[in-house]
Amino acid sequence: MKLKISKYGWMVLSFLTFITYPSKSQQLVVGIVSDASGEPFSSVSRQLQIELNALTGVRNEFVFSPSGNDWNRDETEENLHRYMKDPEIDLIVTLGIISQNVVSRLPETAKPVVSINLLNDEFEVLSGSRLTQGDDSGLRRISLPFSLRDDIIDFYRIFGFKHLSVILPSGLFSQDSGLETYILGGGKDFAISISEVDKNGNLIDALPSETDAALVFPLGFQDATVYPKLFSDLNEKGIPSLAVEGTNALDFGATLTYNQAGMFQQLSRQLAIMILQVSRESEATLLPDLTSSAQRVPVVNMESLRTTGRYPEWKMLENAVLLNPSKIPGEELTLHQAIAVALENNLGNKITDQDLLMAQKDVHIARSNLLPQVELSGNAIQLSENLVESSMGQRGEFTVTGSLALKQVIYSEAAWANVALKELVAEATKQSGRQETLDLVLDVSGAYISLLFARNNVEIRNENINATMKNLEFARARADIGEGSVSDVNRWISELNVGKMELNDAEAGYRAAMFHLNELLDKPVGDPVSLPDSVEITETIINHQSVLDALFSRDPMSDRYADFLVDEMLMHSPELQQLSLADEMLDRQKSMQIRKMYLPEVALIGNADQAFVREGVIRNPQLPVPPPPDDITWNLGLRVSIPLFEGGRKKQEIEKATIGQEKIAWQRKDLLNKMEAGIRSNVQFLKASYRELALSETAAKAASENFQALQDAYVQGMANAAQVADAQSVMVRTRTMAMGSEYQYLLDYVKTERLQGRFLFLEDEIEKSLYVSRLLGSLETE
């Protein structure tokens, strides 16, 4: 008899086993012989101890084969014979292809043996081990409820490769186990080759150049660093990998597996039940051979897919479980790095920097007017003869002269005022640039936090789909045995598709948030952005959370905090600084016009001339006119000027400046009111989001516990699908709210810091300490 039982059926089976056998039994001594000491053999062995101890109600003893002899048939055979002869060992368990092949070829077994090859019965038939012993021997086999060949075919369906390289340990391949025949017979539409790895995890021979997919067997290494290197090399070469070991391999970088996390736990439970049956000499008609009615669901590592660049069609992964759906390969970007990149690359920031440079140049230009102005010139003149004759010997037909002119402003109110005004304009431009920088930091921080939210939202939606798939699998299992209805199956199918729609929307939002951040960083918009796995973003932005805890515990304290922020805003706000500078500019223009009414402009002027060539001079000897000088001629003077009447322009300029100052005073008051209202409002929002942190966490925890309780009750038939679906929906909603509350709290804090005119999390430790001291001091004085 062959029973078809899904993984949820094991819950029922375990329950029946507990009822069938007493809770207490005699201690068993179990000898375990495995092909290797690493994964997955070690995890199966550990879980077997837990399951068997739970079934028997006593602490059983387990004897393991020595480590360090991985994939060695001779050592495996020696350990098996030693356990057979050991009178203290009651029963033997073999794990792996080699150990099962060895025990199956024994003419007889002196003790009960439970054997599993970690593949399936199809392999046993092909390898010949299934035909070696009859059913009356002491050997009991357990075959996994799947076909590796079927997994390979489905792997081919997803990726459509042409050459599959099978990577396995050299010791396994060299044994006479029939593995080569089993593997090479599994491909018809693609080529298959075998690649071996040594004990250090290095490929003995390079993969064939035509390799475009890989099947990785359990390597059994205890050194965990072997796997990340192997899968990393495959991913960088664009080779997707199918891991037999299960989801552990996906954590190391494998692309896909069909063996989900609970499979080896179910296998260990099956082993424990069979051990218990064999030890009791029970006629176990319930469990002669097991297969699974559940559909094999691929588990896909999205990070590996993104690294390989081998994206299958969307429909190929329609029923897949996705791991790392939001994990982006590449160098991780922290918040401080994002801000630094934005300040360096952002186009708006670059334009503001150029404006400041231009304003500084205007200051230098204005100051140059106060420095000596020296001009050197030269003239070459050809005159007509009649002009030469009329000059009475002072000018020649052809003359070359050089001149040097000097002008030095001694006092000019307009020139000095121009310098002062240009300096004020430069400072105003600087404050405008600072305002631009603060706005950019706010935008980048908001975009970064929004990207974190979007990434975690994808994770939540993906986990919701995985939970729904488990519920659907259980509903189908119940429907198969007549305990459930088709209505439950349809309900979970509906929930699954709705969940996938929500995941699609979440992924679109994640990509859109990534594009927005790249836009602010002035990077290629389509570039991926990798975020750290565990971002302590709260500690990064808020370094005085303990102070805020005390401030938001009572309402008056939050009002004092707002007062402190207003004081900080008066000192640091670039908007207020710009208005103050505008007022100073108008005041300087006004004072200039007043001073020009009674203060003259004084300048020193001079000139020097030298004739280098003077030809064709016509002199009249009858006239006593001395010849023109051949040496340098010069003059030096002082120029003083004051305007007497300009049509009342100065008076109008003064009155205009006065009106402008009144306008700025009103603008300043209006800006102060708005900024103070903004600060006090944001403090209230900050306090509200702070208090929502604990509320949302409590709600999410309660919803999660409620869902777990209802799901357990659903498994036991004490709750219906509608109740579980509603609980699951509330769990997802509250988890999203809890995550949103955390990020909203950070956004409110960043906005509050922007209003005060500085971001404390960008300051050094000394300034942070001084800030907190000022904050505490302001609270103590009030």
The domain locations on the chain are 3-143+265-285, 148-258+294-323, 371-411+600-641, 430-577+663-781
The number of beta carbons lying within 10 Å of the beta carbon of residue 767 is 12
Arithmetic mean of pLDDT, 743-772: 91
Instruction: Could you please state the CATH topology (level 3) that the domain comprising 148-258+294-323 is classified under.
Output: Rossmann fold (3.40.50)
Residue 265: is its pLDDT beyond 80? no
Which of 32-46, 350-364, 423-437 shows the highest mean pLDDT? 423-437
* pLDDT the model gives residue 294: 52
Sequence letter at residue 215: L
What are the pLDDT digits (tens) for 56-92? 777 777 777 665 567 777 788 888 888 888 888 888 8
* pLDDT the model gives residue 443: 93
Arithmetic mean of pLDDT, 135-146: 63
* pLDDT the model gives residue 23: 46
DSSP state of 760: G
C-beta separation of 213 from 161 below 8 A:
yes
* pLDDT the model gives residue 701: 94
* pLDDT the model gives residue 21: 46
- Report the alpha-carbon distance of residue 253 to residue 233 in Å, rounded: 10
Confidence of residue 19 (pLDDT cuts 50, 70, 90): very low
- Report the alpha-carbon distance of residue 73 to residue 174 in Å, rounded: 9
- Report the alpha-carbon distance of residue 571 to residue 473 in Å, rounded: 63
* 3-state secondary structure (DSSP) of residue 466: helix
Which residue would you say has higher pLDDT here, 14 or 146? 146
Confidence of residue 140 (pLDDT cuts 50, 70, 90): confident
Arithmetic mean of pLDDT, 626-639: 84
- Report the alpha-carbon distance of residue 234 to residue 250 in Å, rounded: 13
Which of 250-264, 311-325, 561-575 shows the highest mean pLDDT? 561-575
Which helix (H) or strand (E) segment holds residue 194: the answer is strand 191-197
For residue 411, the cross-strand partners are 602
What are the pLDDT digits (tens) for 220-251? 665 667 788 888 889 999 999 998 887 888 88
What are the pLDDT digits (tens) for 601-614? 999 999 998 888 88
Residue 28: is its pLDDT beyond 60? yes
For residue 602, the cross-strand partners are 411, 640
Residue 325: is its pLDDT beyond 70? yes
| Burial class, 762, CB count within 10 angstroms (exposed 0-12 / middle 13-18 / buried 19+) | middle
Arithmetic mean of pLDDT, 400-426: 90
Lowest mean pLDDT among 386-400, 482-496, 686-700: 386-400
Axis-axis angle for helices 335-345, 486-521 (nearest 10): 40
- Report the alpha-carbon distance of residue 200 to residue 448 in Å, rounded: 42
* pLDDT the model gives residue 743: 92
What percentage of the chain reaches a pLDDT higher than 90? 20
What are the pLDDT digits (tens) for 453-467? 999 999 999 999 988
- Report the alpha-carbon distance of residue 720 to residue 310 in Å, rounded: 41
The CATH class of 3-143+265-285 is: alpha beta
Which of 35-39, 73-77, 512-516, 647-651 shows the highest mean pLDDT? 512-516
Total residues belonging to the chain: 782
Longest dimension (CA), the chain: 158
What are the pLDDT digits (tens) for 705-738? 999 999 888 888 888 888 999 999 999 999 999 9
What are the pLDDT digits (tens) for 512-561? 999 999 999 888 888 888 888 766 788 888 888 888 888 888 777 888 89
Give this prediction's pTM.
0.75
The number of beta carbons lying within 10 Å of the beta carbon of residue 253 is 22
* pLDDT the model gives residue 221: 66
How far is C-alpha 187 from the geometric centre of its chain's CA atoms?
Answer: 39
What percentage of the chain reaches a pLDDT higher than 70? 85
Sequence letter at residue 617: V
- Report the alpha-carbon distance of residue 79 to residue 77 in Å, rounded: 6
| Burial class, 730, CB count within 10 angstroms (exposed 0-12 / middle 13-18 / buried 19+) | middle
How is domain 430-577+663-781 classified at the architecture level of CATH?
Up-down Bundle (1.20)
Going by C-alpha positions, the residue among 221, 164, 175 that lies closest to residue 197 is 221
For residue 34, the cross-strand partners are 95
DSSP string across 496-545: HHHHHHHHHHHHHHHHHHHHHHHHHHTS-TTS--B--SS--HHHHH-S-H
* pLDDT the model gives residue 192: 85
148-258+294-323 and 3-143+265-285 share a CATH fold:
yes
The number of beta carbons lying within 10 Å of the beta carbon of residue 109 is 18
CA 772-778-782 angle, to 5 degrees, is 150
* pLDDT the model gives residue 154: 86
Going by C-alpha positions, the residue among 541, 526, 508, 524 that lies closest to residue 334 is 541
* pLDDT the model gives residue 203: 78
- Report the alpha-carbon distance of residue 519 to residue 450 in Å, rounded: 14
The chain-wide mean pLDDT, for the chain, equals 81
Arithmetic mean of pLDDT, 474-501: 85
- 627-630 long-range CB contacts below 8 Å, 24 or more apart? 627/393, 627/394, 628/393, 628/394, 628/395
